Amino acid sequence: MQVKQANGIAAFPRSLGELPLAWRTLLTCVVVFIGAGYFAALVNIVGQTELTDGKPGMSTQDLILKYAGADVELVAGQPPPSRMLEMIGTAMRQYFSDDENYNTLHDWLSGGAAEAAFSAGEDTAPQDVFIMDCLRCHAADGGEEIGTKSPFGPDLFTPDFKMISEFTLAPAPGKSTVHRAPRSWRDLALTTHAHLLSVPMFVVLLGGLFLFANRPQRFPRLRILLACAPLVLFLLDVACWWLARIPNVGWVFALTIAATGALFGLTFGIQWLTVMIALWRKPVEQRP
């Protein structure tokens, strides 16, 4: 990297706009990739969360059910917000052999996942779909990790309604409410581990570029606050994932996740935009 000479002494560039063209181009590519990655993460969050309550579109109920769990009143004509119904519409959709099998299982789950309808069907019954498309991974003795954590039957050819009902929210006889449990602590621990080791890397990188964005440094305290805010908000967000599991008050922390996520996006966006402008804006002393 080239440096400027000040009184015969080498001086490191004091703002992004003073960097050589090659460095500014490289950093622009990096910042664009960071922005695109964050946008993709937002799309993924919506896609993985919006069906938690059984209805399309993100809502506060999605967050409460996913992170805190809650008792749900079943309404005639509306599908119960079961974990299985959520998963077959998102991550598990790709594993169905055809649309007919998917529709068979979706209709059974949406209709309340009754035991009487489990083996009923003119052509393909729900239990047949489990045999063809689900038990190859979800069999207890199949050797797959998911089969140990979420078994649908003892082996590859025997779907067990009692095992499956743990994920369908089928109401007990005479009951009109069901309890939707939050995501498992194992799943949450895996997500926490992955996020804590990856997110701070690009957050600190963008925050460092933000601190180096312009000279002279105006409002230094506000700049420091904005530089640190995304990392602090991210840590609060992850903490709320776990605090939401506290009985009776967990829903408060589940809703806080929406607030911390929105504030993270706002401060992260301010940093991103400031850095992009600073990379291609001439320093004050070079302007006409």
pLDDT tens-digit profile of 70-95?
Answer: 888 777 667 777 888 888 888 888 99
Please report, as a single letter, which amino acid is at residue 128.
D
Question: Quick one: pLDDT at residue 286?
Answer: 55
Residue 273: alpha-carbon gap to chain centroid: 23
CA distance 118 to 2: 72
Task: Give residue for tokens 């967000």.
Answer: 237
Residues 6+ away with beta carbon under 8 Å from 259: none
Neighbouring-strand partners of residue 139: 153
Question: Quick one: pLDDT at residue 63?
Answer: 94
CA dihedral 43, 47, 49, 55 (to 10 degrees): 130
One-letter-per-residue 3-state SS of the chain: CCCEEECCEEECCCCHHHCCHHHHHHHHHHHHHHHHHHHHHHHHHHHHHCCCCCCCCCCHHHHHHHHHCEEEECCCCCCCCCHHHHHHCCCCHHHCCCHHHHHHHHHHHHCCCCHHHCCCCCCCCHHHHHHHHHHHHHECCCCCHHHHHCCCECCCCCCCHHHHHHHCCCCCCCCCEEEECCCCHHHHHHHHHHHHHHHHHHHHHHHHHHHCCCCCCCCHHHHHHHHHHHHHHHHHHHHHHHHCCCCCCHHHHHHHHHHHHHHHHHHHHHHHHHHHHHHHCCCHHHCC
Exposure on the CB side of residue 12, measured as CA atoms within 13 A: 1
Q: Are strands 70-73 and 177-180 parallel, antiparallel or unpaired?
A: antiparallel
Residue 41: alpha-carbon gap to chain centroid: 7
Asked whether the predicted pLDDT for residue 263 surpasses 90, the reply is: yes
Question: Quick one: pLDDT at residue 264?
Answer: 97
Asked whether the predicted pLDDT for residue 41 surpasses 70, the reply is: yes
Asked whether the predicted pLDDT for residue 111 surpasses 90, the reply is: no
CA distance 69 to 90: 19
Asked whether the predicted pLDDT for residue 9 surpasses 50, the reply is: no
Band the pLDDT of 68: cuts 50, 70, 90: very high
Burial class (CB in 10 A: 0-12, 13-18, 19+), 130: buried
Max avg pLDDT among 144-148, 172-176, 250-254:
250-254
Which of 70-79, 195-204, 221-230 is least confident?
Answer: 70-79
Band the pLDDT of 258: cuts 50, 70, 90: very high
Q: Where are the domains of the chain?
A: 16-50+184-283, 71-180
Band the pLDDT of 117: cuts 50, 70, 90: confident
Band the pLDDT of 129: cuts 50, 70, 90: very high
Band the pLDDT of 240: cuts 50, 70, 90: very high
Region of residue 80 (phi > 0: left; psi between -120 and 50: alpha; otherwise: beta): beta
Band the pLDDT of 168: cuts 50, 70, 90: confident
Q: Are strands 9-11 and 70-73 parallel, antiparallel or unpaired?
A: unpaired
Asked whether the predicted pLDDT for residue 288 surpasses 60, the reply is: no
Asked whether the predicted pLDDT for residue 5 surpasses 60, the reply is: no
CA distance 165 to 13: 63
Residues 6+ away with beta carbon under 8 Å from 167: 82, 83, 84, 150
Question: Quick one: pLDDT at residue 8?
Answer: 45
Give the pLDDT confidence of 171-189 residue by residue, as tens digits: 666 667 778 889 888 889 9
Asked whether the predicted pLDDT for residue 3 surpasses 70, the reply is: no
CA distance 259 to 54: 23
**Over residues 211-237, mean pLDDT:** 87
Decide which of 77 and 236 is more confident. Answer: 236
**Over residues 196-211, mean pLDDT:** 94
* Contact call for residues 186 and 149 (beta carbons, < 8 A): yes
Question: Quick one: pLDDT at residue 11?
Answer: 54
